[in-house]
Structures are given as C-alpha cells and as structure tokens.
Amino acid sequence: MTEKLLISLTVNGRRHDDLVIESRYTLVDVLRHHLGLTGTHVGCEHGVCGACTVLLDGAPVRACLIFAAQAEGRDIRTVESLSHDGGLNDLQRAFSACHGLQCGFCTPGFLMLAEGFLAGRPDATREEIREVVSSNLCRCTGYQSIVDAIERCARERREARGDAR
C-alpha cells in the first residue's frame, strides 16, 4: 500500500508525467495535492456526497473511490476545464444566473455531473435532471436552483443548435 509508483495522468488535456505516488492514493488526493487542482473537493471519502465528481473518459465518477493509479491512460476532466479564456462557460453561467450555489463547496461536483450528463442526454427532462442531481449532496440550496440551472443550460444549448424543442 505504501510502495511508491510512478504514473502519468492526463488531466484537462494536459499530460503529467513522473508522478510519484503510493498505490493507495485516491485520484482526488492526487488531483488536489500533487497537481494543485483544488477545484475538486472532498466531502465524504465514501462515494456518497459527490463533491469530488470528475469526468473519466467523459463519464462522471467519484474521484474519492478511484485510486489515482487506476486513472492512468484515461482522459480526466475537472472543473478547472470548464472556463475558457478566463470566462465562465454556459453551464457555469446558468448556475450563477439561477443562484445554483451558495457556499460553492459542492458546486464543482454538480458542474461535472451535469457536464457529463448533458453531453449524453441533451434533451433531458426536468425530472430526469432532478434524478441525476440526486446523485450528489448540497446542504445550502435545497437543490431547486441546481435543477433550474442545468435545465436552463440544456435549453440554451438546444436553442443554440436550432432545436425547436
């Protein structure tokens, strides 16, 4: 468990070589403490709260339930990948417009959850969104504004691509 491994990780399109880790280190700890990507948060370390949600090959996963070594060779995306040129993307803007965050601690997890979900289900209904939002815990908002934000982003994306729905 404490033996050292040499791994490389590809995070947000950038490859990080020569990472010296112990086999027991979780992905979230390596992202946060070795790569300095502290946007991904740790809320429970047992896979329930979802604050550590990142995308692994496009799918939302709990970064506290994956060893860093297991993520080698996979495409990892964190909340830091969402902003472009210093500006917020449409999903982030929707969260702000809908007051989908208060303390902001759970927010990166919800953003990555929504980012992964909407990529596969761009036409999701409000009820489907609500069910996906129930994957993660938020203690501040009561969830309604998070559902609102994701629904708004989905609608705007549909409108942007000329979908009449």
Partner 1 sequence: MSWVGRSAARREDPRLLSGHGRFVDDLHVPGTLHAQFVRSTVAHGTVTGVDLSATLATPGVVAAFTAADLDLGDITAILDRPPSEFVPTAMPVLARDRVRYVGEPVAVVLAGNPYAVEDGVEAARVTYEADRPVVSAEQALAPGAPLLHPAAAANTLVDVSMFATEGIDAVFAGAHRVVRVRVNSARQNALPLETRGAVASWDPREEQLVVHTCTQVPHLVRTLLAECLGLDERAVRVIAPDMGGGFGLKCVVGREELAAAAAALRLRRPVKWIEDRRDALTASFLAREQHYDVRAAFDEDGRMLALDAGIVCDMGAYSCYPFTAGIEPLMASAELPGVYRVPAYRVRARAVTTNKAPSAPYRGVSRPQIVMVMERLMERAARELDLDPVEVRRRNLITEFPYTGVNDVTYDPGSYLESLDFCERLLRDEGWYERREAAAAEGRHVGIGYSCFNERTGYGSAAFARRKMAVVPGFDLAEARMDLSGTVTVTTGTMSHGQSHETTMAQIVADRLRLDIAQVKIHQGDTDRVPYGFGTFASRSATIGGSAVARAASALGDRLLRLAAYLLDTTGDNVELHDGSVRRRDDHGRALSYRELAEVAYLKAHLLPKDAEPGLTASASFDVQGDGTFSNAAHGVVVELHPGTGQVEILRYVCVEDCGVAINPQVVEGQCRGGIAQGIAGALFEQVTYDAQGEPECASFIDYKVPTACEIPDIEIHHLQTPCAFTESGAKGAGEGGTIGAPAAVLNAVNDALRSTGVELDDTPIRPETVQRAIGACP
Name the residues that contact partner 1, by CB under 8 A: 2, 22, 24-25, 29, 32-33, 36-46, 48-49, 51, 78-80, 82-83, 88, 92, 95-97, 99, 101-108, 111, 130-131, 133-147
Amino acid letter, 11: V
Distance of CA 101 to the CA centre of its chain: 14
Shortest Å, Cβ 164 to partner 1? 26
What is the smallest separation between the CB atom of 81 and partner 1, expressed in angstroms? Answer: 9
User: Which residue number, 6 or 163, has a Cβ lying nearer to partner 1?
Assistant: 6
Q: Which of 83-91's residues contact partners 24+ apart within 8 Å by CB, and which partners?
A: 90/153, 90/156, 90/157, 91/115, 91/118, 91/149, 91/150, 91/153
Q: How far is the CB of 119 from partner 1 (least distance, A)?
A: 18
Nearer to partner 1, 59 or 97 (CB): 97
76, 90, 150, 152 from 93: Cα distances, Å: 22, 5, 10, 10
Q: How far is the CB of 33 from partner 1 (least distance, A)?
A: 7
Complex with partner 1: residue 51 or 56, whichever CB lies closer: 51
Nearer to partner 1, 5 or 42 (CB): 42
Cβ neighbours of 152 (radius 10 Å) = 18
Residue labelled with tokens 């549909």: 158
Residue closer to partner 1 (CB basis): 85 or 162: 85
Q: Please, are residues 118 and 150 in contact by the beta-carbon 8 Å criterion?
A: yes
Q: CB 96 → partner 1: shortest distance, Å?
A: 4
